[in-house]
Amino acid sequence: MDFLTLFTIYVVLVLTCIVLVCKYSGQQQSPLHLLLNYITKVLAPFTPKWLKRFSQWTLHRVFHQRSNMFIYMHILLEGAVYAEYSYEVFGYCNDMGTTLISLSVPYTLLAVSTVLFFLCIKTDPGTVTKNSISGQLHIYSYDRRLFHPGVPCPTCQLIKPARSKHCRVCNRCVQRFDHHCVWVNNCIGAQNTRYFLLYLISLCAMAGDIVLLTGDMLLHAVLHSGLLQASYIDEHGQQQPAGLLFVIQHLFLTFPRIVFMLGFLIFVFFLLAGYALFHSYLALVNQTSNEWYKSRGYTCQHCHPTVTGDNFCSPAPDHSKRYFYSRGLLRNLGEVFFPPKAIQKKEN
């Protein structure tokens, strides 16, 4: 199998994974779940009972309960990238004459990202409790479109404040609920959306900066070696000028780990950049992921007032009220970075 075939397979697999993650993130039914269910049914007659129980417990633990597995995976991937950067790219760039300040930027961004990552994990997103609900009910008004007054949470048995939602993974109602993020093992809500948005931006900056430094190193290696003016003998014995594919193949064979890391970071950068832009847009219009998803085909509770869950009947969406909570760009950003506190009533 030649280099072009291997490289094409690599690109197709990565792009397919990215598309599947973007398309099915947050959905209960996905190709992965269907594949796992199919494999489980096929292997069920041949699987010992103890292994069945263990696999069911593991899958439930990973996908339906709070788990630190994705946090460890995130740290492992980040550590692998920085180990390769420190071991090879830093030395090459230093020999090329790149300033130490430029080479130190990724480490500075790593420190900032680590702090924001920790804040996303440890900050309470705004849990709705019996003690705080009286004040949280008055923070946001009900739009009577996606959120209606007097609707209790079937699980918590508490009246749901506007913009809140019950997270099945964390088993709690969260104020201004955005989504549950497995990578930080926490809900993203009113009190930690700012950290999550800054964390995404810092990750993009981190990946982008390492991509630029690595790309500059590889470009310097190509120019210094004179590959662009080189030629080679093809399989038919003809002399051919070295084109772009030949240069990429040479770099892949000479710096395999660096090129693999560069390709991985480029895909990660575009994936994270799209996600960061989406959440920046939501911050500018004062909307959450939960509200954005519901507003695409929202349902109304007025037709069935007895319904207490999140699924209601479905008249045609009223897009004129799509940004009900928007108060202008500055005030919207102010609400994200300085979230309103619950109103505490004084006791006589």
Q: Clarify whether 181 is annotated catalytic.
A: yes
Residue 314 has pLDDT above 50, yes or no: no
The span from the CA of 247 to the CA of 97, in Å, is 23
Tens of pLDDT, residue by residue over 36-72, are: 566 667 766 766 766 656 555 555 555 556 778 889 9
Angle between helices 100-122 and 193-225 (to 10 degrees): 150
Contacts of 239 (CB under 8 A, 6+ apart): 231, 232, 233
Tens of pLDDT, residue by residue over 19-34, are: 665 555 544 455 555 6
CA angle 66, 67, 72 (to 5 degrees): 145
The span from the CA of 138 to the CA of 196, in Å, is 25
Q: What is the DSSP letter of 167?
A: E
Query: Could you give the 3-state DSSP secondary structure of residue 326?
Result: coil
Count the Cβ atoms, other than its own, within 10 Å of residue 72. 10
Tell whether pTM > 0.85.
no
- At 45 the pLDDT is 74
Tens of pLDDT, residue by residue over 92-118, are: 999 888 899 999 999 999 999 999 999
User: What is the token pair recorded at 302?
Assistant: 């007025």
Q: Which long-range contacts (CB under 8 A, 24 or more apart) does 65-74 make?
A: 65/169, 66/169, 66/170, 66/185, 67/182, 67/185, 68/185, 70/182, 70/183, 70/185, 71/121, 71/183, 71/184, 71/185, 74/117, 74/183
Whether the Cβ atoms of residue 232 and residue 240 lie closer than 8 Å to each other: yes
* From 120, 167, 173, 181, the catalytic residue: 181
Phi-psi category of residue 185: left, alpha or beta, with phi > 0 → left and psi -120 to 50 → alpha = left
Query: Could you give the 3-state DSSP secondary structure of residue 165?
Result: strand
Residue with tokens 């692998």: 80
pLDDT > 70 fraction of the chain, expressed in percent and rounded: 72
Which of the two residues, 260 and 112, has the higher pLDDT score?
112
The span from the CA of 264 to the CA of 124, in Å, is 32
The span from the CA of 15 to the CA of 11, in Å, is 6
The span from the CA of 304 to the CA of 139, in Å, is 26
Domains of the chain, residue spans:
1-65, 67-348
Q: What is the mean pLDDT of residues 280-288?
A: 95
Angle between helices 256-285 and 244-254 (to 10 degrees): 110
The span from the CA of 179 to the CA of 149, in Å, is 22
Whether the Cβ atoms of residue 139 and residue 175 lie closer than 8 Å to each other: yes
